[in-house]
Amino acid sequence: MNTTERLRRRSADSETRTTGLFANNPFRWGFIVTLGVLLAVLLAMIVVNLQSVLLSVFIAAFVALGLDPLIRWFQRRGLSRGGAIVTVIILFIVVVLGIVWIVVPPVIEQATALIKNLPSQITKLQGSDWFEQVDETTNGFASAAIAWVGKLLGDPNTWATIGGGALQLGASLVNAVSTSVFVVVLSIYFIATLDTTKRACYLLISASHRSRVVDYAERIMNSVGRYLSGMVVLAFLNAVFSTILLTLVGVPYALIIGVIALFVTLIPLIGTVLTTTLMTIIALFTSPAAGLIVLLVMLVYMQVEAYILTPKVMGKAVQVPGTIVLISALAGGTLLGLLGALVAIPISAGILLIIREVVIPQKARS
C-alpha cells in the first residue's frame, strides 16, 4: 500500500469516527452548532457597534494606499524612503489645513445661501418666458421636474446623504469633526508605517506560501494605489474645470458645485454624468444660454477625459469594466452612501486582479 492510499484511508477513518461521534451524541452536535451561531452573532454585533471606527480605519488605509505611488515617485527622483514619506506627510497636512482654512468657509457660506435662495430661484425660473414655452411644449413635465429638483436640493437630508459615510454629516457637527481628525491622524500614521505594517502581516503567512502571497499582495496594493491616486487627480481636474466654467458663465455658487463635483466624480463612468446633469440644471437658473453652454462644454470635456486624460493619468492601474463599475457603485452606495460607492470600485479592482492573476491561471493548469 503506497503512501497516498494510506493517507486516504486514514482520512476516511477519521471522517467516519467524527460522523459517528456526532451521530451518537446529538446533544454535543447541537451545542457546537449553537455555539458557532452565537459566536457569529457576537462578531456581527461587535462590527455593528464599531462600524464608525472600522470605517475610519478603512478610509485611512485607502488614503495611505492612494498616497503610496506619490512616495515612490519622490523615491525615483532621488529621495530616500524616509525623506519621501516625510515629504508626502507634510504635503498631506498642508492640503488638509488649506482645505479647512481656505475652502471650507466659502463652501459653507455658498451652501447656506444656495439652500436659502433656492425657492426664490425656482420661482424666478418658472416665471421666465422661455421656461413657460418649454413647459407648454412638454405638457407640464418641465415644471414638475424643476419642482422635484428644487425639493430635493432644498432638503437638508439630501446633502446629509451625499456626504454620508465616514464623516457622518447627518450626525452632530462635533462627531463629524472628531471623526475627520481621527481619519487624518490615522492616515498619517498609516502612511509612515505602511511598509512596516505590511511586513508584520506577511510574517503571519506560512513560509511555504509567503513569497507567492507577498507578490500578489504587493501587485494588488500597488495597482489599487495607482487607481485611487489616478481617480483623485481626475476628480480634482474635473472639479477645477467645473468651477471655472460655472464662474465664466455667471452661475452663482460655483465653488460649492465644484466641491460636490470633486467627490462625485471620484466614481468613474457615472460620476461625471451626474455632475454634468447637476451643473446644467443649476446653470438653467441663470439663463437658457448658460445651461446650454455648460452642457455642451461638459460633453466635450467628458470626451477629453475619457480618451486623453484617463489613459495618461491611470497608467498601469487595473482597469474595471463598465458593468462592474455600475454594479459596485450601486452596491456600495446602497450600503454606505457616496463613500461606499467610492471604495467599492477599488475593492472590485483588487478582486478582479486576484481573479485574473490567481484563479484563471489555476483553472488553466487544472
Where do the domains of the chain lie? 22-365
pLDDT band at 337 (very low <50, low <70, confident <90, very high): low
Average pLDDT of the chain is: 75
Cβ atoms of 304 and 336 closer than 8 Å: no
Residue 297 has pLDDT above 90, yes or no: yes
Question: How many whole angstroms separate alpha carbon 222 and alpha carbon 97?
Answer: 27
Q: Which amino acid is at 299?
A: L
Question: How many whole angstroms separate alpha carbon 212 and alpha carbon 239?
Answer: 40
Residue 170 has pLDDT above 50, yes or no: no
pLDDT top residue among 333 and 211: 211
Residue 247 has pLDDT above 70, yes or no: yes
pLDDT at 231: 81
Q: Which residue shows C-alpha cell 512596516? A: 196
pLDDT at 301: 92
Global confidence as pTM: 0.65
The C-alpha cell that represents 123 in the structure block: 420661482
Mean pLDDT lowest among 125-129, 184-188, 282-286:
125-129
